[in-house]
Structure 1
Amino acid sequence: MGIAFYIGVCIIAAPFLLLTLPGYWKLFKKAGWQGWEALIPFYATYVMLKISGRPAWWLIWMFVPTINLIVGLGIYIDFIKSYGKFTIREQVAASLLPFFYLPKLGFDNTEYLGQSATPEFMQQFGKAARRPMIIAWGIPFTSAVCIAVIIRMFFIESYVMPTSSMERTLLTGDYFFVNKLSYGARMPMRPISVPFTKSTISATNIKTYWDGLKLPYFRLPGFGNVKRGDVVVFNYPMDADSPLYRPVDKRENFIKRCQGIPGDTLSVVDAQVYVNGKAAPTPPGSEMEYTFTTNGGELNPQVLSDLNVTQYPGRDYQTMTKASADALKGYSNVKDFKPVISKKGITDPQSPVYPTNPGHPVGPSNLMLNGKQPDYQWSVDNYGPIIIPKKGWTVKLDSLTYPIYERCINTYENNKLEVKGSGIYINGKKTDSYTFKLNYYWMMGDNRHDSDDSRFWGFVPEDHIVGKAVLIWMSEDNEDSLFGKIRWGRLFKGIN
């Protein structure tokens, strides 16, 4: 992951670096070099070393992951010190806002004073140019961490696809960017935490955040709202349960496609999603399982490979996209071709769905109100209809709706929901309805039979939304040989 991570950092930083080039151009000229030399990667760093008086061999550090980020900022700070910027305030400002600071230095009356890293320079300018090593290197280190945290928190972040649940839209090993400006950046709810870590230290229960400071959910303005069809990264809602009890922004990241937005009525009929009574568009990369036989002999393995058909040893079905299925069933020796779809009105005990999934309990299994007990008989391919809660919507609570919305009311909106006898109580008061405070979404994987999604654990609250997946910038096939690991055809591919 190391190389991929640093490529991602460079891609994220590239637009900001372009804004600094006019400043570098002018500052290079003030030091007696050519302005165009600032435009050549690595050579520009070599020139900065010469301008500040550092040895040229320091350029080697720029090829060493992690060290290059710290040393690079150190070279940069030496560079601006050569123009008389000695104070901590000036150096921090130049580190965090170079796209403003450098053009300002380049176009104002700032002058080049000499090579800041030389003894002669330090003697000439005294204490202003000299600092203890811990401070001199602490500034670039702290600035590097702050820059990375700000970018990840408010703008864009890189993730890797860990499973096959979104195939073939996203493959296992795809590295992709998530745009946090799409829906507005979510402010941290546990702001005191160790950056770039998960919620706990690996193989331990030691938290990487402090529960002593808790902030309410708040989201900055974004470019829009979650739309049907968006590929969305969100926090896994079930991490709210025992034994984890994680706060919202410290729950594991999931990625699925939004199939329903607040207020929609959603159902699945024979594996086809319907929203508000209309068939939803099927993502071109979504996969299903199919069975078929052949008229003697086996299909050419190359045919299956070319069609990206996933074969499972010991199983009588293969997984593929609809386009691949249409192509494959057209072969003359293929017969009895059909999708694997669960029957209507039958709950699969091997794959129980929300809200009757025993792995995700939602309340009393023997709940009976008004003489009725819910019997949904839903499955992964025939589900609903179900109404997705919308902020301000009031639902009537009875034996049929209670199991569906209990988790939203109790867990996500922090109410005490109880059943006493034949009555429902919220925060100690008997009621037969509830008005939602949050918007909710319905998320499903494109690989419909290999995805842990809303069909199994229900709705995704708006405060769990992280951002929109927009671009695959690296893709690694860990099952391929060393020289075939990178899937070159997937690099810089948009996510639809």
Structure 2
Amino acid sequence: MPLHHLFVVYLISILLVFLPSFGLAKLFKKAGVASWKAYVPFYNTWVMQDIAQRPKHWVFWQFIPIVGWFITPGIFIEFAKVFCRFSFGDHFFAALFAPFYFPWLAQNKDARFIKAEGVKHHQKPAWREWVDAAIFAVVAATLIRIFIFEAYVIPSSSMEKTLLINDYLFVSKFSYGPRIPNTPLSVPFVHNYLPGSSLKSYTTLIELPYIRWFASPVKRNDCVVFNFPEGDTVVNKDGYQSFQPYYSLVRMYGREEVQKNPEFQPLAVHPVDKTDNYIKRCVGVAGDSLKIVDGIVYINNQPGNIPPTSATYYTFRTKNNTPVDPDFLRESGIRLNMESNSPDFTAMQGGYYSINLTLPELDILKKLTVIDPNSIAKDVSPAGYTEPFTFPFDTVHYKWNRDNFGAIWIPKKGATLTLTKENIALYRRAIQVYEKNTLVENPDGSFVINGTSTNKYTFKMDYYWMMGDNRHKSQDSRYWGFVPEDHVVGRAAMIWFSYENGPRWKRFFKIIK
């Protein structure tokens, strides 16, 4: 954790215990304790625990980063009890609004000092026991979700056949360092919308800058969960969101048409931590040079790692035009997802078939006696063919497609790039949106960044290139570019449950590679 982050953490901890001191001083006096002790951060909570006869080790827990912020309110609640305050409302305000609550309590005539012995004679109603237990569970689970791990479910086939639809994962937050929420005021256990509605589950009344503790860079070939980079603005209705991204619609129809067309309304704007979660494999890290040739990824001019479960499309024919069907191929050991919008196996004209295979499954196909092995060919877009909706959406300078792409340099924190009218399309969004700079592009090819004329830019963050293992059925960096480090959520660590027409027992507790 950087030193300035640690400083901020403990500054907040000190303020939490110091700001209520003006009310605590008068309450200390009522309890027979010198009032000056209320103004000494952390010593005051030691004295409060002594007065309430509660465990002193709670005071030391306050020094644990973040966790301590949740211990301090507990100490305040226990102290309020010795002044005969047992209601849920009292404890709510003591925990969340201590700087205002304790000065009010000090002036309240009903605030009688009953000592710890008086607290022991108070019996909580049964409903309070349940409420207190529920609050504790929510707080504990929220801390675990933010700082240790989070559950995630695979919604689409973009990572097949590594991760399957309805695989339930644990995502490790410690792998790259826990990220502090940009929007801390949100409904627990809910991402960006309230269940069953289009209402946001959070408020931007308080927004925090990007902070990651114990930061560690993403490693090449990791399976990574991250916030969708183009998800800051979405069409907030079924069928759109990240399935048909707003920026894709803008590139297709024009911004003005999208914003005035009622079909594309309403729009919703999300901060980084509330954009939709994606899961892909990191094939390129900051500083890498990446290109794709005939569907093969090259990193720094060397062939990249190909996961054995990575799938791509092939075409083939059978001997004597013998018909084959999905059931026959499944019985042979080939897994096929026959979803209607993008099936893994289809019959084509001229007696050819199209099939989505991993390399081990390709070996199985070649050995089937009904298959003509000489007819098997990878189904890739040819070099020179331009797909206009591949990144960076500049068909004048970049005639790329999903199978023949690049070369492209992935930005690295601290690295300085010379900007040109050719490469600005690659890095414009990173400079303007992710790193929040003003950028003016002059007709003569020069640039003005934050009011200064320059053709150099030094990146403030590391970036990554993410691709799905199911290469021809994945919306990934080939279609929206780089993933900034502040969008990284965590590493997919383990499948804890999997379901398809019943539990897939062999996938339970499988480590993700």
Query: Under TM normalisation by the shorter chain, which class is it?
Result: 0.5 to 0.7
Cα distance change of structure 1 residues 141 and 337 upon mapping to structure 2, 3 Å threshold? same
Does the 8 Å CA contact 1:309/1:324 hold for their aligned counterparts? no
Structure 1 residue runs without a partner (length 5+): 1-86, 98-123, 357-364, 366-372
Q: Which moved more, 1:128-137 or 1:429-438?
A: 128-137
Deviation at 1:318, TM superposition (A): 1.2
Structure 2 CA distance for aligned equivalents of residues 167 and 392 of structure 1:
35
Q: In structure 1, the residue corresponding to 2:231 is in which secondary structure?
A: helix
Give 2:386's aligned residue: 347
Q: CA RMSD in A?
A: 2.5
Counting aligned pairs with the same residue, the percent is 41
| Equivalent AA in structure 1 for residue 509 of structure 2 | F
Q: In structure 2, the residue corresponding to 1:489 is in which secondary structure?
A: helix
Give 2:366's aligned residue: 329
Cα distance change of structure 1 residues 490 and 88 upon mapping to structure 2, 3 Å threshold? farther
Q: In structure 2, the residue corresponding to 1:456 is in which secondary structure?
A: helix
Q: Which moved more, 1:388-397 or 1:191-200?
A: 191-200
Aligned with residue 272 of structure 2, among 248, 251, 254: 248
Deviation at 1:214, TM superposition (A): 1.3
Structure 1 CA distance for aligned equivalents of residues 378 and 485 of structure 2:
34
Give 2:437's aligned residue: 415
Q: Indicate whether 1:380 and 2:402 are aligned.
A: yes
Deviation at 1:378, TM superposition (A): 0.5
Give 1:208's aligned residue: 201
Q: Which moved more, 1:336-345 or 1:300-309?
A: 300-309
Does the 8 Å CA contact 1:374/1:400 hold for their aligned counterparts? no
Give 1:265's aligned residue: 289
Tell me the alpha carbon deviations over residues 209-260 of structure 1, each in whole angstroms, 9 at most, x when there is no partner: 22121111111115x4211110000001111236332111111110000000
Structure 1 CA distance for aligned equivalents of residues 323 and 396 of structure 2:
47
Structure 2 CA distance for aligned equivalents of residues 220 and 159 of structure 1:
22
Structure 1 CA distance for aligned equivalents of residues 180 and 347 of structure 2:
46
Tell me the alpha carbon deviations over residues 274-333 of structure 1, each in whole angstroms, 9 at most, x when there is no partner: 000100110111001111111132237334342214453755311111110122122232
Does the 8 Å CA contact 1:391/1:439 hold for their aligned counterparts? yes
Structure 1 CA distance for aligned equivalents of residues 203 and 119 of structure 2:
43
Tell me the alpha carbon deviations over residues 184-211 of structure 1, each in whole angstroms, 9 at most, x when there is no partner: 1001111111111121225644322221
Aligned with residue 451 of structure 1, among 443, 468, 474: 474
Does the 8 Å CA contact 2:346/2:355 hold for their aligned counterparts? no
Structure 2 CA distance for aligned equivalents of residues 457 and 202 of structure 1:
28
Does the 8 Å CA contact 1:394/1:434 hold for their aligned counterparts? yes
Aligned with residue 330 of structure 2, among 304, 309, 314: 304
Q: Which moved more, 1:162-171 or 1:294-303?
A: 294-303
Structure 2 CA distance for aligned equivalents of residues 386 and 315 of structure 1:
36
Does the 8 Å CA contact 2:157/2:164 hold for their aligned counterparts? yes
| Equivalent AA in structure 2 for residue 474 of structure 1 | F
Give 2:508's aligned residue: 491
Structure 2 CA distance for aligned equivalents of residues 189 and 380 of structure 1:
33
Tell me the alpha carbon deviations over residues 364-396 of structure 1, each in whole angstroms, 9 at most, x when there is no partner: x6xxxxxxx942111101100000000011111
Give 1:464's aligned residue: 487
| Equivalent AA in structure 1 for residue 335 of structure 2 | N
| Equivalent AA in structure 2 for residue 225 of structure 1 | P
Q: In structure 2, the residue corresponding to 1:244 is in which secondary structure?
A: strand
Q: In structure 1, the residue corresponding to 2:361 is in which secondary structure?
A: helix
Structure 1 CA distance for aligned equivalents of residues 53 and 209 of structure 2:
34
Deviation at 1:439, TM superposition (A): 0.5
Deviation at 1:418, TM superposition (A): 2.0
Deviation at 1:89, TM superposition (A): 6.4
Q: TM-score, normalised by structure 1?
A: 0.68
Structure 2 CA distance for aligned equivalents of residues 230 and 265 of structure 1:
18
Structure 2 CA distance for aligned equivalents of residues 472 and 203 of structure 1:
26
Cα distance change of structure 1 residues 88 and 412 upon mapping to structure 2, 3 Å threshold? farther
Deviation at 1:128, TM superposition (A): 3.1
Structure 2 CA distance for aligned equivalents of residues 331 and 88 of structure 1:
77
After superposition, where does 1:217-296 map in structure 2 within 5 Å? 217-221=210-214, 224-241=216-233, 243-295=267-319, 296=321
| Equivalent AA in structure 2 for residue 378 of structure 1 | W
State the 4+ residue runs in structure 1 displaced beyond 6 angstroms: 87-90
| Equivalent AA in structure 2 for residue 376 of structure 1 | Y
Q: In structure 1, the residue corresponding to 2:268 is in which secondary structure?
A: coil
| Equivalent AA in structure 2 for residue 321 of structure 1 | T
Tell me the alpha carbon deviations over residues 404-429 of structure 1, each in whole angstroms, 9 at most, x when there is no partner: 00000001000111223223222232
| Equivalent AA in structure 2 for residue 442 of structure 1 | W
Q: TM-score, normalised by structure 2?
A: 0.66
Structure 2 CA distance for aligned equivalents of residues 136 and 314 of structure 1:
60
After superposition, where does 1:58-457 map in structure 2 within 5 Å? 128=121, 130-202=123-195, 204-221=197-214, 224-241=216-233, 243-295=267-319, 296-299=321-324, 301-305=327-331, 306-310=333-337, 312=343, 315-316=347-348, 317-335=354-372, 336-349=375-388, 352-356=389-393, 374-422=396-444, 423-457=446-480
Deviation at 1:129, TM superposition (A): 5.0
Q: How many correspondences in the alignment?
A: 358
Deviation at 1:434, TM superposition (A): 0.8
